Amino acid sequence: MAQQRLGIIMNGVTGRMGMNQHLIRSICAIRAQGGVALKNGDRVMPDPILVGRSADRLQKLAKANGITRWTTDLDQALKDKKDTLFFDAATTQLRAELLNKAMKAGKDIYCEKPVSDTLKDALDLVRVAKKAKIKHGVVQDKLFLPGLLKLKMLIDSGFFGRILSVRGEFGYWVFEGDWQPAQRPSWNYKKAEGGGIILDMVCHWRYVLDNLFGEVESVTCLGATHIPKRVDENGKTYTNDVDDAAYATFQLKGGVIANINMSWCTRVRRDDLVTFHVDGTHGSAVAGLQNCWSQARVNTPRPVWNPDVPQPIEFYKTWQEVPGLGVYDNGFKTEWEMFIRHLYEDAPFKWTLLEGAKGLQLVEASMKSWKERRWIDIPALKV
């Protein structure tokens, strides 16, 4: 058994998502377990170099996680031929430029989504990657959540019969920042900095719908700016000039209808911050981030409409929790391991830059639907 080194240029890992999910809970966790096991018995050990703008933050982050390499000079990092993979979790607006630069330097790439802020740039990335003959992947983390893995198990078992509809509810109240600090950075609410919930979340819904329920064929979407003024991290009031909520309906291949509400202006009264309620002819299920509950046809209660008496059925108690299959690892880490195996032994990995571009396609169609107040068809992407 041999150990192989994977040099990773990790850009944007001083941010919340890059630091917590990708650096600490994925790469550092993989290092702690002795690397990624390959079929031949070898193990791949990630050796990251952290890249960012703040030397002080990089140094502290590296030291806290047992990492020896960091730099504020991305161009110099890209010149090192021993570091073969470039990862980006920084700002969406700069991502296409950075990925282009990395691919031209001969690096394989793995990145957060959205892969860019326009479909045109996303498709250009696919073409550059093809020409450069490099391997590429895009984070599709929600597919690896325990709740959705349990839901996928129900789908694959035929539990639902014919799936009729999907109802997704995502969001929570993000404080305005005046009397209580906001839980999200202010850039989320600024168009110039790549903000907006449609750009942020519809990319997720594309891969969830495509992979679990059927390819998206058309969309109608209504966006909204519910809270026009917010207060930033420095106590300064600013104008929210993007959508902070959106309400979308999708028609899927095979006839399934999906409705997904997304909002940073809603107070939660459901099982989780995101839930997917799936109805089928033989059963229904509701999945959150970690858990999933089901109700079979034979166990479905028989409610009768009577507004004159209190509801006699305790509906939550009529559902059964779906048991898991063993221990579920962190979803981001799971996909990292799959991509590393793809790099070293060409294991299947379908979540490429083209899949990332499909997310931008649906984002732009949703924005167009909102602007033109009509259904928009989603054709197959041609590169």
Query: What are the tens digits of pLDDT across the range 162-199?
Result: 999 999 999 999 999 999 999 999 999 999 999 999 99
Domain identity same for 177 and 100 = no
Domain identity same for 275 and 291 = yes
Domain identity same for 233 and 366 = yes
Domain identity same for 306 and 251 = yes
Interatomic CA distance for residues 25 and 332, integer angstroms:
8
pLDDT tier, 91 (very low <50, low <70, confident <90, very high otherwise)? confident
Interatomic CA distance for residues 229 and 217, integer angstroms:
36
60, part of any domain: yes
377, part of any domain: no
Residues of the chain with pLDDT > 90, as a percent, come to: 96
Question: Which tokens go with 151?
Answer: 């839901």
Q: Which CATH number covers residue 346?
A: 3.40.50.720
What value does the mean pLDDT of the chain take?
A: 96
pLDDT tens column, 215-249? 999 999 999 999 999 999 999 999 999 999 999 99
Which range marks the domain in which residue 346 is found? 3-141+331-351
**In the prediction, which pLDDT does 325 show?**
81
379, part of any domain: no
365, part of any domain: yes
Domain identity same for 316 and 235 = yes
Domain identity same for 121 and 164 = no
**In the prediction, which pLDDT does 284 show?**
98
Interatomic CA distance for residues 303 and 313, integer angstroms:
7
Domain identity same for 213 and 242 = yes
Q: Name the domain count of the chain.
A: 2
Domain identity same for 36 and 93 = yes
pLDDT at 1 over 80: no
Residues of the chain with pLDDT > 70, as a percent, come to: 100
298, part of any domain: yes
244, part of any domain: yes
pLDDT tens column, 97-124? 999 999 999 999 999 999 999 999 999 9
Domain identity same for 28 and 160 = no
Strand 320-321 to 292-296 pairing: antiparallel
Tell me the average pLDDT across 263-285. 98
Tell me the average pLDDT across 201-217. 98
Domain identity same for 111 and 174 = no
Tell me the average pLDDT across 308-326. 93
**Mapping DSSP to helix (H, G, I), strand (E, B) and coil, where does residue 189 land?**
helix
Q: Which CATH number covers residue 152?
A: 3.30.360.10
Tell me the average pLDDT across 328-332. 95
Interatomic CA distance for residues 214 and 203, integer angstroms:
15
Domain identity same for 367 and 337 = no
310, part of any domain: yes
Interatomic CA distance for residues 250 and 227, integer angstroms:
26
Residue 70 to residues 11, 18, 47, 79: CA-CA distances in angstroms?
10, 15, 11, 14
**In the prediction, which pLDDT does 368 show?**
98
Interatomic CA distance for residues 48 and 68, integer angstroms:
9
Tell me the average pLDDT across 319-342. 94
The amino acid at residue 113 is K
pLDDT tier, 125 (very low <50, low <70, confident <90, very high otherwise)? very high
CB 122 within 8 A of CB 96: yes
10, part of any domain: yes
Domain identity same for 156 and 124 = no
Residue 167 to residues 258, 284, 365: CA-CA distances in angstroms?
6, 11, 20
**Mapping DSSP to helix (H, G, I), strand (E, B) and coil, where does residue 83 land?**
strand
Half-sphere exposure of residue 170: CA atoms within 13 angstroms, side-chain side: 20
**In the prediction, which pLDDT does 327 show?**
85
**In the prediction, which pLDDT does 40 show?**
94
